[in-house]
Amino acid sequence: MRLLFILALLFQFHVSAQPHLQIPASDFRLPTPAGDSVSLSSYRGKVVLLDFWASWCAPCRVANKSLVKIYPRLKEKGVVVISISLDENRKPWLEAVKKDRLGWLQLREVRGWYASVTTDWAVNKIPATFLIDQEGNVVGRDLAEADLEKKINELIQ
């Protein structure tokens, strides 16, 4: 009985620790505006910054501004930036991409909150960002700009 209790405790810890850092990252395959589908695993070997957002998410639109600002530095370091929009509709998605001048890979998940990509990555609010290393492991979530760049520098050394 005591063993069972300890096991239950351990299991609970395991489960609650899971959503924050998944090692390795869950793969997905989603469409680009042009209609091609792209998978996360095809970027193995590169550092990836994954960003969940939507056109109707005001804080995401603010975060886009900072990302646009640091994107040239990230690109220079060989970091791949992938945005996944939870927009139900195509038009506002593309309008926001254009308006915010998001010059990196744009993907969309029409099933939004209930899609496997959102549940696998435990995205319960947006914006949500994940940093993924060259081996495909999640090494950071919702890192602030300074921490993000520091972590990236560590990874590409």
Partner 1 sequence: MHNKTLLLLLLLVGGQQFSFAQFQSARLQATGLTCALCSKAIHESLQKLSFVAKVEADIQSSAFAILFRNGETQNPDALKAAVEEAGFFVGELLLEGQWGEKLPASTVPFKWGDNWYYFLSSKAVKDNSSFTLSVIDKGFVTDKAYKKYLSQYNQPSLATGFLTEDSLRPDIKQRLFHVLTVK
Residues that bind partner 1 (CB under 8 A): 54-60, 88, 92, 112-113, 118, 123-127
Q: State how beta strands 128-132 and 138-141 pair.
A: antiparallel
Report the alpha-carbon distance of residue 155 to residue 157 in Å, rounded: 6
Q: Closer to partner 1 by CB, 119 or 134: give it.
A: 119
| Burial call 121-142: b when 16+ CB within 10 Å, e when fewer | bebeebbbbbbbbeebebbbbe
CB of 12 to partner 1, least distance (A): 21
Q: Specify the residue, 28 or 52, whose C-beta has the smaller distance to partner 1.
A: 52
By the 10 Å C-beta count (0-12 exposed, 13-18 middle, 19+ buried), 64 is classed as buried
Q: Shortest distance, CB of residue 95 to partner 1, whole angstroms?
A: 9
Structure tokens at 60: 């995401």
Q: How far is the CB of 29 from partner 1 (least distance, A)?
A: 22
Nearer to partner 1, 48 or 123 (CB): 123
> At closest approach, how far in Å is the CB of 113 from partner 1?
5
